[in-house]
A and B are shown apart, each in its own frame.
Chain A
């Protein structure tokens, strides 16, 4: 009997896992952005002394995990599971990281939704009594994503207005069955929504219906309204995706624009840093959540957050074959109170 389900697709955690440590590592551009002072480590060089961007990304993820565990005052042997994913083919960054960490590992592919997807699964493992300590982590790197999904770095092409800038960084969260919060209290895993957007340079529009669907389902299932939250923040919808979600929610009678934000908009100064529609990538919601949101919650400036990481689940091959982009969004309620 699934006693923890409420409504159609939301889960209420009976023993809400506590977040006991986080870490965020970012590249130089992210460090220069508006959230620069919140990050644990800002790299001067986005290769971090490695021979390739892929190796640099794996190193960021590994160091973020180790730092989060240190921040939680634990050591690696205390952790029962690592749940991680990234954007590269066959999620190599996460698997190379897991090789170094050496604990049981679940690899995820949720594209840029990985942060909240891993938090969902990690919370369920803890609430289900299968683990006491779980690390959830993800990473992305502008240069490794760019070569896989778009053009070579030195190629002189113009970026579209709708295109987004992949965040270079890694974030990790340590969840625990005991702790003083913030707690993960509700999970609303999302359904794929695909409204036939085929433009890989407009991922915000491709993911917006998924974000909308998950947010509205979360409200319906839990009975919460936007007023119950201090912050409702999506992963990487960017300027266009955010505008669409606000619009669609207003049509349904939910007015959330004053507390609705997007990690992709928060992380860069779009005008100064020339990032067009905003940031994207697995690291986008990961570094914003594990730095800014977590630290503001610890300070008590924000008490209840709905984090909805959003993913565009296309591949370079599906784009070339003219297929549309399936969008996904998973929502996680993070609360300073456990009930």
Chain B
């Protein structure tokens, strides 16, 4: 051990750790994500039948999916979906709802101000910051290159 450098040890550890089953995980993520999107599409089609416009339907679909994601988190089901589906459950908007509700629930004991309210964005916060930040940059690029056409 004394003659092993840090780098050699880290390489050695890498060999000892089994590789995750990428194919199986990808298939599960595809199925889980696909089902969530299918549910979204069903909600969309359903809302169109009420004669709502494109904008209202898009907003309504998101609201309903966020509600479902939050409800399943509260019922202790979404973490099991996430365990099975991985990124397939994390990436859709339901996963976003899960990250906020799970954190809010976790920190309820520390009070509604410094617990729930302060901590609820610890996971979702980076997504919001860089998501909104990114959309601002794209918006600026659009104005610079495409406005006036």
Contact = CB atoms under 8 A, between A and B. Distances in A.
A155 B1 contact: no
Interface in A225-253: 240, 243-244, 247-248, 251-252
Listed residue (A155, A156, A195, A205) with the most chain B CB atoms within 10 angstroms of its CB: A156
A216 B1 CA distance: 11
A154 B16 contact: no
B109 A52 contact: yes
A264 to B, nearest CB: 16
B98 A156 contact: yes
Contacts of B13: 197, 202, 205, 240, 244
Interface stretch (B49-57, B58-66, B83-91, B126-134): B83-91
A197 B17 CA distance: 13
Nearest to A198: B10
Q: How large is the interface on A (under 10, 10 to 19, 20 to 34, 35 or more residues)?
A: 20 to 34
Contacts of A155: 79, 82, 98-99, 102-103, 123
Contacts of A213: 1
A240 B73 CA distance: 32
Contacts of A51: 109
B34 interface: no
A51 B101 CA distance: 19
A224 interface: no
A196 B102 contact: no
B interface majority secondary structure? helix
Contacts of A240: 13, 16-17
Contacts of A196: 6-7, 9-10
Q: How large is the interface on B (under 10, 10 to 19, 20 to 34, 35 or more residues)?
A: 35 or more
A149 to B, nearest CB: 13
Contacts, number: 92
B95 interface: yes
A4 interface: no
Interface in A167-202: 195-197, 202
Contacts of A243: 16
A153 interface: yes
Contact of A248 (B1, B79, B85): B1
Given A202-B17, A205-B13, A158 B106 contact: no
B30 to A, nearest CB: 15
Given A157-B79, A161-B20, 17 more contacts: A51-B109, A147-B106, A153-B79, A154-B101, A154-B102, A154-B106, A155-B82, A155-B102, A158-B83, A161-B18, A195-B4, A202-B17, A205-B16, A209-B9, A213-B1, A240-B16, A247-B16
Interface of A: 51-52, 147, 151-162, 195-197, 202, 205, 209, 212-213, 216, 240, 243-244, 247-248, 251-252
Shortest beta-carbon contacts, A-B, top 10: A156-B82, A152-B106, A154-B102, A196-B6, A155-B102, A152-B102, A195-B9, A205-B13, A52-B109, A156-B79
